[in-house]
Structure 1
């Protein structure tokens, strides 16, 4: 199972999202550090809409996602961009 697939599975289980997209942006970050080649799964973007985020400020939403993905971050996921929304909120995607 790929890192992207594990992220999707963990977030689906934790938040029962209405919408979830996990985008591998690793290739876009090649060379910004000596050990980042653009291969592998090092940079991910999460776009998630879930009722679990209703009434929560943005920081609390990000913390909740980071908590669920703690194992992936500790295992070497270098960067995680999070776009978390509650149902009915405007999104840019």
Structure 2
């Protein structure tokens, strides 16, 4: 496993502990940011698509805050940048 695959496994474990997930996809987009100043610190760039019942009634900002709280221990060393797509089970991803 690569270092970022190991990181993704840890992110997934923390998110599964925090939320009752019906969907979770974590993509490593670090290669798209090679040479970026932030990438030099060793933190990766990731894209997260997550679907959880806990997001029902929450604003987009509140959902992002909840996700950042669940992944807090990984910033800034393992995660430099995070793109978040957060949905409830009834919301469309379109």
Common fold: TM-score over 0.5: yes
Higher strand share: 2
Gaps of at least 5 residues in structure 2 are none
Contact kept, 8 Å, 1:14 with 1:68, in 2: the verdict is yes
CA RMSD of aligned residues (A): 1.8
- Residues 43/7 of structure 1: CA separation in 2 closer, same or farther (3 Å cut): same
TM-score computed with the length of structure 2 as normaliser? 0.85
Looking at structure 2, the residues matched to 19 and 36 of structure 1 have their Cα atoms a distance apart, in angstroms, of 28
Give the length in aligned residue pairs.
Answer: 89
Q: Normalization by structure 1: what TM-score?
A: 0.86
What is residue 86 of structure 2 aligned with on the other side?
A: 84
8 Å CA contact retained: 2:8, 2:26 = yes
Structure 1: stretches of 5+ with no match in the other structure: none
Q: Distance in 2 between matches of 1:66 and 1:53?
A: 13
Runs of 4+ in 1 over 4 A off after TM superposition: none
User: Do residues 21 (structure 1) and 25 (structure 2) align?
Assistant: yes
